[in-house]
Amino acid sequence: MRHETGPQSADPIAESSRELRIHALHVGDLIDWPTPALIHMRRFAEVRDIPLIMFVITGGAHPIVVDTGGASPGEVADLHGYTFRQTEQQHPDVALMARHIDPLDVRLVVNTHLHWDHCSNNHLFPNARIVVQESEVAYALNPEQPHRKPYEQLGHREPGWLSGRDRFEIVRGDVEIAPGISVIHLPGHSPGSQGVLVSTPSKRFLIAGDCIGSYENWDGDDDVDHLPSGTFTSLPDYMTSFRRIEEIDCTVIPSHDLAVVQEGVFR
């Protein structure tokens, strides 16, 4: 698979070092999210605010974005019925520019999957190819009825993720997308869910997408080694993906955990 080399990032970290680093950008919060939707069959009476996180990998030839966050609070309320809180500083383009990264310099975006909260801002990166699993695109085009809303297959408008389909780089399974960076197919939450494995000087990190939404999912409890989210298309595939992650020997980075935002940079 050939990848073009675009202009180098203006990120001072990337300019001073060729070492890969992962930056977790806080791009809004879903308010009063039911805990069982994040952690399968646990704490039914509990709700929590969960962050939407856009990741940026710097230190290579150009910045790589992993997941692009959700739509505006108004659109989220209208289309999905959720309360989404986002400050001006949390708009994805503003958050990037605050770190001296111009969205126009991004040449590669990875969508861990095509649920609305992970791909609604693909349009901000017009010069980027968008890496997505073939099985994810196939399912997003024709999901089962209970899964139509996450993919915005609502019948009265085009799904947001389709706006960048002409720039999709379709992959099958595990693929190296840049030196030290690979996508890893992790089906279960959705058929084409994928993580992004990043080798930094200290260790290997896995940006896990919604295969692991919070550290609680990965840590499990007294009954289960790892807990899936409350939303999945195949539980057997999900549990197989957990075992695959164990074999990789990596440090996981969840997709919706406030501790990830607080950590900020993984190196």
Residue 80 lies in a domain: yes
pLDDT tens track for 64-99: 999 999 999 999 999 999 999 999 999 999 999 999
> For the domain that residue 134 is a member of, what is the CATH number?
3.60.15.10
Residues 6+ apart with CB under 8 A from 99: 11, 23, 25, 56
Residue 72 lies in a domain: yes
Residue type, 70: G
Residue 5 lies in a domain: no
In the structure, what pLDDT confidence band is assigned to residue 163 with cuts at 50, 70 and 90? Answer: confident
Q: What is the pLDDT of residue 256?
A: 98
Residue 252 lies in a domain: yes
pLDDT tens track for 12-64: 433 333 699 999 999 999 999 999 999 999 999 999 999 999 999 999 999 99
Number of domains in the chain: 1
Question: Domain limits at 143?
Answer: 12-259+261-265
Neighbours of 87 (CB within 10 A): 12
Residue 30 lies in a domain: yes
Q: Is 90 exceeded by the pLDDT of residue 11?
A: no
Residue 135 lies in a domain: yes
Residue 17 lies in a domain: yes
* pTM, entire model: 0.92
